[in-house]
Amino acid sequence: MKLAVEQFLPSQPSMVGKGQPIIFVHGNASTRAVWTEVIEDLKDDHYCITYDLRGHGDGCTADSLLTLDQLVADLEAIRTATGFARIALVGHSLGAFIVARYAILHPDRVDWIGLLAMPAERTEEEKASAATLLNKLKQDGVSRTMPALSSSWYTQAFTDAHPNALNARLEQVLAIDEAVFLQFYALYSTINVDAFLPDITAPALIMTGEHARGCGGDVATNVARMMPDASVVVFPKMKNGILTEIPEKVAQNLREFYLGIEAL
């Protein structure tokens, strides 16, 4: 499929599959590649669209005054360029914030959304911890700080079976320009979606790992309760890396959610 218009885009989107269109939005210090295995299980039923956020992968340069609404405008540019009037959206971590905000600003464009590993209802202690981590990242550098946090990504069983997984993820993080990483982490750590979640009218599927750092099972359950039309799936024993550890289960639940909506 050719893009419908010539215009500024944050990156050239990758598009594969057939059926209902879904735009997938990755998180901080990641790229569109994180969706590869999920899309492999969905492309026979969905037209799957991915792109890189500013400063990530093939994305354009990130502005110093980075905002959530700027990232939402980038997503709308991708949607416009594909020519689809209505789409589904699936976001992970920071990508989930972008998707949630898009659903508020462009409700007439959204069929349904998937919010994966999205923090909400942050406590004062969690906010203080995030601020402390940001300062540490600035002072000690990303390369010295991030390895200590890698245990929050994957389960021990997964890293035992895939001994190179943590190094591969660290390499992905360190491939992002440090200034860009800090910009995005500062934004991610201060976004508050609580106020507008109740106003999202699109059907929503909330998914996360039971023990995901900052966005575990209890958080996902509370997010679903805050929204008028939301379902929740919590993967037992999983952490933040559900797109890497269990992509087939993520895809299966997205497919079942869509089929349930279609059956109504």
pTM: 0.96
CATH number for the domain formed by residue range(s) 14-121+192-263:
3.40.50.1820
Phi, psi of 231 (to 5 degrees): -115, 155
What is the reported pLDDT for 127?
93
109 alpha carbon, distance to own chain's centre: 19
- What is the pLDDT, as a whole number, of residue 79? 96
**Tokens 């994957």 belong to residue:** 154
52-67 core/surface letters (b: 16 or more CB in 10 A; e: else): bbbbbbebeebeeebe
**In 3D, which of 222, 136, 140, 142 has the Cα closest to residue 181?**
142
**pLDDT given for residue 189 in this prediction:** 95
**What is the full DSSP assignment across 84-128?**
-SSEEEEEETHHHHHHHHHHHH-GGGEEEEEEES---S--HHHHH
Tokens of 81: 């360029």
Residue 4 has a pLDDT of 52
Note whether 208 and 219 are within 8 A (CB).
yes
pLDDT of residue 262: 85
Ramachandran region, residue 211 (left: φ > 0; alpha: ψ -120 to 50; beta: rest)? alpha
Torsion of CA 174, 238, 119, 97, to 10 degrees: 70
Which pLDDT score is estimated for 191?
Answer: 95
Give the residue extent of every domain in the chain.
14-121+192-263
- State the helix-helix crossing angle for 94-105 and 68-82, rounded to 10 degrees: 70
pLDDT tens for the chain, residues 1 to 264: 556 544 678 999 999 999 999 999 999 999 999 999 999 999 999 999 999 999 999 999 887 789 999 999 999 999 999 999 999 999 999 999 999 999 999 999 999 999 999 999 999 999 999 999 999 999 999 999 998 888 889 999 999 999 899 999 999 999 999 999 999 999 999 999 999 999 999 999 999 999 999 999 999 999 999 999 999 999 999 999 999 999 999 999 999 999 999 887
